[in-house]
A = this chain, B = another copy of it.
């Protein structure tokens, strides 16, 4: 038995990267899976010593193919005798206006025409001497982000080949103006300036100037995209000259993940955040509960998860949530919690009393909700607000978001109408049982719940996001929702006239039109047969072309600077009726990256101009530990321009 102190983390890393196949340990000696064998061959001597076995270094035969840049495309050609091959990634780093940057920078882009070799062991980061000292929290983020950068550089070779440990040093010299801001906010300046140059002593210098940590972090992503693992020379290489100024077009660039219809583990959420960081997305909208399950552990009401979690392990503890929030922060992502109410509530509330929730698991479900199981809060029951208040308090304690999502979609009036307590309440108020009467009831709920949100926020108001719903219906939204207070998240189609009305009335909007940004669409039906409701599957091309500005102008709205400011951005949404840990990555990626370029760059060109960079970015996601869908045969990445129609 060994003491852990004897086993260094380097050993562990290597051991784990081998992914030893334990399914057939009976085979003589160490039984390494295929991938492990390959990794093994490629691993550092360390492993061989550790296992006390002989490692044969893998030597690939000389490549027969080479790539050269012609008319902004890397053309695959046979190596001419006597010449050396150029690796595809090296060619791409030098070819085309934007090389393999994703999303495209929006400012100055001056990129060099030659490559320098760098050493994985000589990557350092420091603050420029002229700048002020960072606050402890920002300094911690700085250390975390630069460490991540180094790890990601080393990972460029993972699964491909060994990295030769020779090359120049790379210094990241950072200037971060705002030395205090460690929380991403809706108005956070994400701009950065990145300059790569060669010093007289041969060092590669990358100078980053950013207003905030969050801009600095984006610059690191861009720098990483200008760094490659060259699989021919087995070196880490970087563009030796670049000047980029960059900032996003849309401030709100998000992904919604539903962790209630099916449970999604923290590990999967972390992979999602890895993909978001790589694509410069900044908002993780956590739809953490729904009628199906209640995985959010509320310390003052442990019954919510005891009754509502699918299993005791399908729970997000406070520690889990803190982990996610910090993991996201260092990756430039804010985590926005949603507590959806008064509909989309059911499992987890059974202990609270008979009239707190209504219609839970009501049958036939088609009469009381949009999908099983039904369930809504009872706005006339005081306990509802007591519990809601505690849930909100817990959320404000754990999350670090300057906006809050109150859900508010798909309230079913028939559900409320079938509950005696509610009907009596309406009658006592002198109200009828028509749509407008139920809207009054809903308004009552929204007002009371909002008070609880503000109470949880220390008595201060903050922007509230609500889904398009009955309350935001045509002609009456202003009756219920104050435009200074509420941001409306659109989930109807991109051609819905309501969008124009909301913008004209001065509301800020987040666009998640289901015909382009509902990534659960296109699979088999889960009630009944055939295909699911919002089929067909949405290809990345359509996602890429889904411009929030175009949506609004196509509805006849004049795109003034005020209107632009109202259109905050978009979120890709992943509702998880038919998704869990096994498939979450493929649904989100690389389509979320297509949206990311739309939101960051708002390119004038079509997806066709972006296709080759997209294919490359998809491979980048794989390197970052994500399991994205494959868009095309790898052949199309190796043969630029030959896969078309």
B-binding residues in A (CB < 8 A): 1-7, 9, 12-13, 15-17, 19-26, 30, 33-35, 38, 49-53, 60-61, 63-65, 78, 143-144, 147-148, 151, 159-161, 231, 261-263, 265-267, 270, 292-293, 302, 306-307, 310-314, 320, 323, 327, 347, 350-351, 361, 363, 365-366, 372-373, 522-531, 535-542, 576-583, 585-586, 607, 622, 625-636, 638-639, 642-645
Contacts and interface: CB of A to CB of B under 8 A. Distances in A.
Given A313-B38, A536-B535, A635-B292, A643 B526 contact: yes
Given A160-B313, A312-B60, A536 B531 contact: yes
A244 to B, nearest CB: 26
A635 B34 contact: no
Given A311-B231, A642-B372, A526 B631 contact: yes
Closest 10 CB pairs of A and B: A524-B539, A528-B645, A34-B266, A582-B627, A527-B645, A60-B312, A292-B635, A529-B541, A526-B632, A580-B630
Contact of A539 (B523, B538, B634): B523
B13 A16 contact: no
18 contacts: A9-B30, A17-B22, A21-B270, A33-B266, A159-B313, A161-B313, A372-B636, A373-B635, A523-B539, A525-B541, A529-B539, A535-B536, A536-B537, A577-B633, A582-B586, A582-B626, A582-B627, A582-B629
Nearest to A274: B23
A627 B583 contact: yes
A630 to B, nearest CB: 4
Given A151-B23, A311-B231, A361 B536 contact: no
Given A1-B49, A630-B582, A635-B347, A522 B537 contact: yes
Contact of A3 (B52, B529, B638): B52
Nearest to A365: B642
A38 B630 CA distance: 31
A88 to B, nearest CB: 9
B1 A50 contact: yes
